Structure 1
Amino acid sequence: MHYHINGTSPKEYKVINYDADVSLLVNQTNESLRAEIVISLYEGDEDQSNSHVIGIESFEQNIQCSISQNDGVSRFQKSSVTDITIGTFFNDATSFKNALRSFAIKENFGVRIKASDKKRVIATCSYQGCQWRIQASLCEDSQSFQVRRVDGEHTCPGINRAGNRLATSAWVANQIQEMVKRYPDISPKEINSGLEKEFGLSLPYMKLWRAREQARDNIFGSVDDNYKWVPTLTAELLDRNPGSHITYTFNAIGNSFQRFYVSFKVCVDGFLFGCRPLISLDACHLKSKYLGVLLSANSVDGNNGLFTIAYVVVEAESKHSWSWFLKNMGETIGTNLSTLSFISDMEKGLGEAIREIYPQAEHRICIRHLWKNIKKNFRCKEGQKMQGLVWAAANAYTNVEMNEKLSELHDLSPTLYSYLISLPYKWSRSQFMIGIGHATNTNNFAESFNAWISDARTKPAVDLIDLIREKVMEQRAQ
């Protein structure tokens, strides 16, 4: 097979042997350039030197390529809408009605089914006064249907593309099924863009969202069924990772999923024997059907790299959920470590849980989140000076330097001064425990973890846990 791009010189036919040759052909063509493709038929040995040409087929094809900003390839694949004419065959009555729906949407007219039984399907245009009518009936094989009659011409003005009742969520799900199989997290906006190009439709966001969820369920199984695999996943992970601490809980009322804790032995050993005794705690909200919150514990290794210790899916962020998480983590790393420091944002209920379960541990607060809280609740005419003093006190390595900045801050805002010295957390480097080996006062590596697993946050519990497991496994292998 060879090809030549019309309008280019010299007229040279290039060989098509591999996928790369096809890609080159597509890249060289556009709406104004047509490609002439020549197929040569040989007779004789496989070696063309001992064969002779028995025929040449040549045809021109106008090739269009749609480029997406995301990955260079259009995510919306052009669907095949059957052009319904007299004599067209369909597998059954349902196939005919589905094809008729797609054809009507593409041609911008409404359809009303007037009669439908085992032997025939009759449909008309839904616009009052339009004489268009189609009939398909059962074939001799007692299963397939064939279009027998198409009467009248459309005199209707068309219908509102945005409010097309034929374009249901189920229909959209069927159209985008192959696309969702390749790109499960495709956005409703991208789906709408593809439907607009193909069918001229502009559908509501929620209808597109429901269609995507339905397509996911058709391909990967329903989200509800996903939670049934929690016991199986737990048993499999424990079997493949001896010594790990993996557990889950469920609500006795309705036997519904509640929490799932995962801490692999290799991660615990790596923390105890190869990381600084500093643990970052953070929470991020999940985006799957039943929402929930992902709590995580991360540390830093000797190269200041992110090191995941444990993670858990819980129903909500509260003192009770944090306590459950920390108790499970305490069963593996211990709760009486002489040198241990936690750093976190001002998470709901976390401070009380740490003081209750790890009474000897230090609890640092991220200065960035502390400053956001100060900025929200304390007003001052000299805001920039106040910010400079707070950050200077937080970055001070000695008590003398910190007290100097706090003294200046007292003159500027006595209420803020009282607030800072009454905090139950450590927020200045001068207050940090000796022996931790890391003077960080921000929770940046927790934010790095959240960004690292951002693509998993849309998944239900089992898929989420397993996807993070894959990431942790790759991280440990590096």
Structure 2
Amino acid sequence: MRPGHCQAKSRVIGSHVKPYYEDVKCIHKPKNIINDVRKEFGVNISYSKAWRSREKALDMIRGGAEESFQLLPSYLDMLKLKNPGTIAEIESDSESRFKYLFMAIGACLARFRSQMRPVIAVDACFLKGKYLGSLFVATCKDGNNNVYLIAWGVGDSENNASWEWFFTKLRSAIGHEIPDLVFVSDRHKSISKAILTIFPNALHVHCIYHIGQNVKAKFKHENVNALFYKAAKAYRESEFHELFNELERYDPAIDTYLREASFSRWARAYLDGKRFDIMTTNIAECLNAALADTRKLPIQCLMEYIRNMMQQWFYERWGHASKMGGHLTSWAEGQIAKRFALSQYWLSEPIDMYRFNVKDGNSSGIVDLKAKTCTCRVFDFDKLPCGHALAAAHSRNIDPYTLSSAYYQTEALLCAYADPIMPVGSQADWIVPNESASVNLLPPATRRPCGRRKTCRIPSAGEEKMRVKCGRCGQIGHNRQTCSNPISLDKKNEGSSKGARLDHV
């Protein structure tokens, strides 16, 4: 009968609600715990006790944040033992406090060098746990247009030192010389500086989505954003300048802003095809979204979650690739099928054995099947035959799949996921060297301040929060299912009169 309920301790309640938190993506809030305890035991507990019970339940399942840092060196040793070729390194400060972490699975590194397009998208997102930090990711695309994680790491924040350390480790992991290597990122100054220092021979281009959002925020014109994307994605320089001149008519300041951003960094027409069709950092953003709920985990649990996610990806995608009966991946075949449907009635005029002049009704494209180029430049950039090349190949009875890059072949996709990613096993079965077991790795000094933790990121420039409108009452901020507003009699009468009119008709 006492209001404190001394028998309903937070640890007792935490052990009772522990099953709710075994799934990382499950959301069971303190108010849900209050309702559960009231319904099951007839006891009213305070919000603070419910919150403490939730924290105790999470500690029982995942362990504490401090214990996770202590366990991290042993975990990484076991990961390298189970997955040969894996690179996992930790850097700490003079007081043995955690500073940086870099991880790259051996199977991912080997297949990136041989089977993937050499275009890497890099990005970072903040962690939501007890200690501050940022998660760095380096990703690319496989031949079936799926996200392929190359490496990831943890640092204190997005600053010059952390990005330079991450790129230094990435360089040693993927190798010093990769021909035609391209990095895609936002316009973060620390990323640009680190790439220029660590990868001086690589091409660094910018995400057109981030530039487009800045254009949208700076220049308040209705059609500017859509025109910018059309200009950025244009293949021919003539088409690009036509669209860019149209942009200048809206506001001359747009010309100054986009020229300062450098055409060679974002305009496809000013590149030589090394970027392929990867115009944004969306592959990295998708990975950040997939890890949105897991970024609140302790660091060792977060690393294990990412490893387990990749283990599932490798198994599922290898099974999917093994069922592909064609020469190319299903995504590449779909792209070719769309282009062939548009080009099957185009006129192909031979110039010599390999070159053709193909007329598509609006303009023409001169195709060289031997060099795998076309004046429309779609063939040059995508490394998949464009409509002009397909029309020319059809006139010579040439298999269009032989004109595609080896990156899109089914065989390359099978090789990319051939080596499985092994788990580390139960902690009780770990055989860890004494050097790693004796490491006393402390958490970083940058602990999150008191108060409710922020879980939503600050919107970027030009980014608008989606507003939900109720279809029942018409107000903004909720939907039809959660609407509790009364419906006025005028709307009811209006609805009944409409029904009457319909019955009359």
TM-score, normalization: structure 1? 0.60
Q: Distance in 1 between matches of 2:12 and 2:131?
A: 24
Q: Could you say if the C-alpha distance between residues 264 and 335 of structure 1 is closer, same or farther in structure 2, counting changes exceeding 3 Å?
A: same
Contact 2:104–2:151, Cα closer than 8 Å, also in 1: yes
Name the counterpart of 2:205: 364
Report SS of the residue matched to 1:261. Answer: strand
Q: Distance in 2 between matches of 1:348 and 1:191?
A: 45
Q: Is 1:174 equivalent to 2:12 in the alignment? A: yes
Report SS of the residue matched to 1:467. Answer: helix
Q: Is 1:429 equivalent to 2:429 in the alignment? A: no
Contact 1:317–1:348, Cα closer than 8 Å, also in 2: no
> Please, which of 225, 242, 245 is the counterpart of residue 84 of structure 2?
242
Which segments of 5 or more consecutive residues in structure 2 lack a partner in the other structure?
319-505
Could you say which structure has the higher strand fraction? Answer: 1
Q: Could you say if the C-alpha distance between residues 208 and 257 of structure 1 is closer, same or farther in structure 2, counting changes exceeding 3 Å?
A: farther
- Tell me the CA shift for residue 266 of structure 1: 0.9
- The C-alpha deviation readout for 1:15-54, integer Å capped at 9, x for no partner, is xxxxxxxxxxxxxxxxxxxxxxxxxxxxxxxxxxxxxxxx
Q: Could you say if the C-alpha distance between residues 345 and 197 of structure 1 is closer, same or farther in structure 2, counting changes exceeding 3 Å?
A: farther
Question: Which is greater in Rg?
Answer: 1
Q: Distance in 1 between matches of 2:35 and 2:279?
A: 45
What letter corresponds to residue 439 of structure 1 in structure 2?
A: D
What letter corresponds to residue 237 of structure 2 in structure 1?
A: N
Q: Distance in 1 between matches of 2:144 and 2:129?
A: 34
Q: Could you say if the C-alpha distance between residues 337 and 227 of structure 1 is closer, same or farther in structure 2, counting changes exceeding 3 Å?
A: same
- Tell me the CA shift for residue 219 of structure 1: 4.8
User: Which shows bigger deviation, 461-470 or 384-393?
Assistant: 384-393
Report SS of the residue matched to 1:465. Answer: helix
Q: Is 1:379 equivalent to 2:203 in the alignment? A: no
Q: Distance in 2 between matches of 1:264 and 1:226?
A: 20
Could you say which structure has the higher helix fraction? Answer: 2
Q: Could you say if the C-alpha distance between residues 208 and 364 of structure 1 is closer, same or farther in structure 2, counting changes exceeding 3 Å?
A: farther
- The C-alpha deviation readout for 1:366-409, integer Å capped at 9, x for no partner, is 22222222222x133xx122122212211111222222222222
Name the counterpart of 2:145: 304
What letter corresponds to residue 326 of structure 1 in structure 2?
A: F
- Tell me the CA shift for residue 261 of structure 1: 0.8
Contact 2:10–2:56, Cα closer than 8 Å, also in 1: no
Name the counterpart of 1:210: 52
Q: Is 1:293 equivalent to 2:131 in the alignment? A: no
Larger relative contact order (CA 8 Å, sep ≥ 6): 2
What letter corresponds to residue 69 of structure 2 in structure 1?
A: Y
Which segments of 5 or more consecutive residues in structure 1 lack a partner in the other structure?
1-103, 105-109, 111-163
Contact 2:216–2:224, Cα closer than 8 Å, also in 1: no
- Tell me the CA shift for residue 285 of structure 1: 1.6
Q: Could you say if the C-alpha distance between residues 435 and 217 of structure 1 is closer, same or farther in structure 2, counting changes exceeding 3 Å?
A: closer
Name the counterpart of 1:275: 116
- Tell me the CA shift for residue 165 of structure 1: 4.5
Alignment of 1:48-67 (within 5 A): none
Contact 1:297–1:308, Cα closer than 8 Å, also in 2: yes
- Tell me the CA shift for residue 240 of structure 1: 1.8
Name the counterpart of 1:323: 164
Q: Could you say if the C-alpha distance between residues 334 and 452 of structure 1 is closer, same or farther in structure 2, counting changes exceeding 3 Å?
A: same
Contact 1:343–1:443, Cα closer than 8 Å, also in 2: yes
Report SS of the residue matched to 2:88. Answer: strand
- Tell me the CA shift for residue 200 of structure 1: 5.9
Q: Distance in 2 between matches of 1:335 and 1:463?
A: 31
Name the counterpart of 2:292: 454
Report SS of the residue matched to 2:122. Answer: strand
Q: Is 1:467 equivalent to 2:308 in the alignment? A: no
Q: Is 1:230 equivalent to 2:72 in the alignment? A: yes
Q: Could you say if the C-alpha distance between residues 336 and 414 of structure 1 is closer, same or farther in structure 2, counting changes exceeding 3 Å?
A: farther
Contact 1:177–1:219, Cα closer than 8 Å, also in 2: no
User: Which shows bigger deviation, 268-277 or 172-181?
Assistant: 172-181
Report SS of the residue matched to 1:217. Answer: helix
What letter corresponds to residue 88 of structure 2 in structure 1?
A: I
> Please, which of 253, 258, 262 is the counterpart of residue 99 of structure 2?
258
Report SS of the residue matched to 1:267. Answer: helix
Contact 1:344–1:364, Cα closer than 8 Å, also in 2: yes
| Identity level (%) | 30
Report SS of the residue matched to 1:439. Answer: coil
Contact 2:17–2:33, Cα closer than 8 Å, also in 1: no
Q: Distance in 1 between matches of 2:61 and 2:229?
A: 52
Contact 1:282–1:347, Cα closer than 8 Å, also in 2: no
Q: Could you say if the C-alpha distance between residues 228 and 197 of structure 1 is closer, same or farther in structure 2, counting changes exceeding 3 Å?
A: same
Q: Distance in 1 between matches of 2:6 and 2:46?
A: 8
User: Which shows bigger deviation, 459-468 or 410-419?
Assistant: 410-419
TM-score, normalization: structure 2? 0.57
Contact 2:91–2:99, Cα closer than 8 Å, also in 1: yes
Q: Distance in 2 between matches of 1:243 and 1:290?
A: 30
Q: How many residues align?
A: 310
